[in-house]
Structure 1
Amino acid sequence: MQLKSFTNWIPPLWRVEYKLKFALSHVGLFDKKAVYTGLKHVFDDDIFIVSYPKSGNTWVRFIIANLISDRDTVSFRNINNYVPDIYLYKDYLNTMKQRPRFIKTHDAGYEFYPKFIYIYRDGRDVAISYYHYLTGRGEFNGTLKEFLNSKPSWGAVGWSSHVSRAIDYAKSHSDQVLLVKYEDLLNNTVKNVKRIADFCQLNVSIENINFAINKSEFHRLKKIEKQYGSEFNHSKNTFFRSGNSGQWKEMFSEEDIQQYLSIADNTLRQLGYLD
């Protein structure tokens, strides 16, 4: 069970109630999926958008939103109308009429999601993106090397565990999971957006797919963010920074590289990031 990782997101006063309900779900008094996610109900057609942080989750959210938005402008002001963040919009999700619901999460409770899209990215690029994100928000103040050596959940340990568990789960639940490699989405966008649309059973034309891709290009998302506001209105930091792959090659020292590989070599190799 993934109890430990999820309870980190729960306020302390709620944890006793949560753990009690989760325990009682084993004897059928509560629905495990609903208790775990904190939602009133988890429907069979719910589709969760899952990733380790800074792996492309928000990009995929914008792509899906642009596929289903009837061509309205999608920004951080209204993205949660289409693909709500489970941590911030539980009340909205509990009253949401849209079906299927598309739900953003970073939590690795794979067995509790009826269907989910899992986005993964080279962990070394993830570390660079996460570092810039947290320093920009004032949640970390230090060098990249200090960042990589700080919380295990921020570096190779957290990334490798999150991703490898998702890949292993997908092997025995292929009809339940769509794996999306960030770099493939970047380099062959049309093919992979079509995969996403097909998995979500969205009856969309190639014209609509191209529209969603166009509206979700990084330079457009950065422009929209500047015009309509960022994810966190109090922050001067922009959410969309670069989106490129291979940035770690310019920022990792040789020592950083070897340290990262000492932890995540097998996972990077399994995913094709190492020869």
Structure 2
Amino acid sequence: MIIWLASYPKSGNTLLRSMFSAYLFSKDGTFDFDLLKNIKNFPDFGVFKNLGLDTANENEVVKKYIYVQEQINKRDRNSIRLIKTHSALNDINGYPFTNLNNTLGAIYIVRDPRKVILSYANHGEISLEESLKRITQVGIIGGPKDPNNKSVIHVGSWASNYNSWKEFKKFNKYFLIKYEDLISNPEEVFIDVMKFIYKISNTKFKINKEKLKNVLKTTTFDYLKNLEKQKVFPEAIKSVDGKNITFFKYGKKNTGKDLPKYINSRLLETFECEMKELNYL
């Protein structure tokens, strides 16, 4: 069964996946970029193509979301599969993104939109104005012509993405992580989210302390930044000249406090309700 690692882009999904992949898929908890391949993306262009689906037809892809998830779960119905997504949990053209038959639970990572907008601009090499437009409007990313992501992803806006995944709260299958808490207290947050996974999978909670120690040591921003200098980060996007854009670039320097006043005002005006709910205001 699938446990979704869901988030709006640039919200900390990579950090959480790094921690999970190091803890679950390494012998000693030491992280390496190669481990990320154990946690797939959805929708994934390659998976849909391998199943013989018409990936050039967006409506056909959306129509087959549930079918593809059934094929993923079909391999072993009793196993847990962590899958990353930036999709909002909305019906698209009348077709659902997922259902309870294929989903065991959802872990949602949220980040202050004032930090998201800066990270989006820096890593996508776009202006703050363009970044503002993207996170405040319901939109999509990717597509067959996108060299960085061939899958069309219906991300929505920052707020609609966040609000949509709260649907799983009705079924006690929802766990919210604030990126800021993950940074300030990674051990406590990681243990809490592991407890959630054990709970919804009806298994007894246990933690390998030595392994967790190595996870925490090798998933800090400085460690990941140095690792990217030594190895190519497989999910780095390319600039217009074809070069990889550094992914682990700013870290804690991105405080979200240096935004132009008009952009900050627009964010507060658009996301005031959600930001207050999350204690960002």
Would you call these one fold, judging by a TM-score over 0.5?
Answer: yes
| 1:259 CA drift (Å) | 1.1
Name the structure 1 match of 2:256: 248
| 1:221 CA drift (Å) | 1.1
Name the structure 2 match of 1:133: 123
Q: Taking structure 1 as reference, are residues 56 and 233 closer, same or farther at Cα in structure 2, changes over 3 Å only? A: closer
Give the whole-Å Cα distance in 1 for the aligned partners of 2:224 and 2:134.
31
Name the structure 2 match of 1:204: 207
| 1:170 CA drift (Å) | 4.5
Q: Which runs of no fewer than 5 residues in structure 2 stay unpaired? A: 52-70, 90-96, 140-155, 199-204
Give the whole-Å Cα distance in 1 for the aligned partners of 2:29 and 2:266.
46
- Name segments (4+ residues, structure 1) moved above 6 Å: 95-98
Name the structure 2 match of 1:18: none
Give the whole-Å Cα distance in 1 for the aligned partners of 2:117 and 2:83.
24
Give the whole-Å Cα distance in 2 for the aligned partners of 1:125 and 1:96.
39
| 1:269 CA drift (Å) | 0.6
AA at the equivalent of 2:224 = L
Q: Taking structure 1 as reference, are residues 83 and 203 closer, same or farther at Cα in structure 2, changes over 3 Å only? A: farther
Secondary structure of 1:249 counterpart: coil
AA at the equivalent of 1:199 = F
Q: Taking structure 1 as reference, are residues 70 and 219 closer, same or farther at Cα in structure 2, changes over 3 Å only? A: same
Secondary structure of 1:239 counterpart: coil
TM-score (normalised: structure 2): 0.69
What is the RMSD of the two structures over their aligned residues, measured on CA atoms? Answer: 2.9
Secondary structure of 1:77 counterpart: helix
Counterpart among 67, 79, 92 of residue 36 in structure 2: 79
2:189 is the alignment partner of 1:192: yes
Counterpart among 110, 124, 135 of residue 114 in structure 2: 124
Name the structure 1 match of 2:176: 179
Secondary structure of 1:114 counterpart: strand
Output one character per residue of 1:48-92: Cα deviation in whole Å (capped at 9) or x when no partner: 111001100010000001111213754333411x21122345359
Secondary structure of 2:251 counterpart: coil
Output one character per residue of 1:200-229: Cα deviation in whole Å (capped at 9) or x when no partner: 227322222222111111111112222220
TM-score (normalised: structure 1): 0.70
Q: Percent identity?
A: 27
Name the structure 1 match of 2:165: 166
2:10 is the alignment partner of 1:54: yes
Match runs of 1:132-151 below 5 Å = 132-135=122-125, 140=126, 143-149=127-133
Output one character per residue of 1:135-164: Cα deviation in whole Å (capped at 9) or x when no partner: 1xxxx4xx313432367247xx71011112
Output one character per residue of 1:97-147: Cα deviation in whole Å (capped at 9) or x when no partner: 793211111112276332111101101101111111211xxxx4xx31343
Secondary structure of 1:115 counterpart: strand
- Is the CA contact 2:175–2:196 (under 8 Å) kept in the aligned structure 1? yes
Structure 1 or 2: more helix by fraction: 1
Name the structure 2 match of 1:237: 245
Q: Taking structure 1 as reference, are residues 75 and 195 closer, same or farther at Cα in structure 2, changes over 3 Å only? A: same
Counterpart among 209, 227, 252 of residue 230 in structure 2: 227
Name the structure 2 match of 1:103: 83
Name the structure 2 match of 1:28: none
Q: Which runs of no fewer than 5 residues in structure 1 stay unpaired? A: 1-42
Give the whole-Å Cα distance in 2 for the aligned partners of 1:123 and 1:134.
16
| 1:96 CA drift (Å) | 7.0
Give the whole-Å Cα distance in 1 for the aligned partners of 2:253 and 2:275.
14
Q: Taking structure 1 as reference, are residues 187 and 52 closer, same or farther at Cα in structure 2, changes over 3 Å only? A: same
Greater shift in the superposed pair: 233-242 or 53-62: 233-242
Give the whole-Å Cα distance in 2 for the aligned partners of 1:166 and 1:226.
35
